[in-house]
A and B are shown apart, each in its own frame.
Chain A
Amino acid sequence: KQEVTQIPAALSVPEGENLVLNCSFTDSAIYNLQWFRQDPGKGLTSLLLIQSSQREQTSGRLNASLDKSSGRSTLYIAASQPGDSATYLCAYDAGGTSYGKLTFGQGTILTVHP
């Protein structure tokens, strides 16, 4: 049962482009949504956390938005760089009795060419 869907599955862009990664989730009653980065063979690095009451969060060239009612989140990366190449994962925390348990999407593999 797929609860979190990420589109596209893979993305290849030239350096300098602005890009958008999409995440949709079926459970609108989320507590928060997080975006992570995963480099090959490595663990996950937390990028941004958006509380359910918030619409967006920004960190440097990254901006994440959240529309809880429609079950969507986007991660915007400005002026992409080769060092941004990684897999980007979104995950939600449903809160309540499931507080702290993350449900992940399958990820978007991003390649930024020099």
Chain B
Amino acid sequence: DTGVSQDPRHKITKRGQNVTFRCDPISEHNRLYWYRQTLGQGPEFLTYFQNEAQLEKSRLLSDRFSAERPKGSFSTLEIQRTEQGDSAMYLCASSKAQAGGLRYTFGSGTRLTVV
């Protein structure tokens, strides 16, 4: 178990550029989540996958955001035409079932700065 890996750790981009983040979950976890966290706030849910199926998308995700999880393995989150308001930490998590609920493992996040 090597944990959840996210790449890159940091990304600085100019407004209007496209960016793509990658998340590698724990291999036996079938659920994968994306959250966004701004300074001083808790994470906000963006979307999640069960295997390769994207089951829910938050209203926070505008049409500039797209996420994929081909073959139910790693996932990518793409932001097109970035805006300064997209600056945040993007967290990925995967989960497995346990008694009473799901046990989550979070990655260290990708910090996006749009200048």
Which residues on A are within 8 Å of B, measured CB to CB? 4, 31-32, 34, 36, 41-46, 49-51, 54, 89, 91, 93, 100-107
> Which of B11-19, B39-47, B65-73, B76-84 is found at the contact surface with chain A?
B39-47
**Would you call B42 and A43 a contact (CB within 8 A)?**
no
**Would you call A46 and B104 a contact (CB within 8 A)?**
yes
Which residues on B are within 8 Å of A, measured CB to CB? 4, 31, 33, 35, 40-45, 48, 56, 91, 93, 95, 98-109, 111
Q: Is the interface of A mostly helix, strand, loop or mixed?
A: strand
A34-B101, A43-B93, A51-B99 given; name 13 further pairs at CB < 8 Å. A4-B42, A32-B101, A34-B104, A100-B33, A101-B48, A102-B104, A103-B45, A104-B42, A104-B43, A104-B44, A106-B41, A107-B40, A107-B42
Q: Which residues of A contact B31 (CB under 8 A)?
A: 100
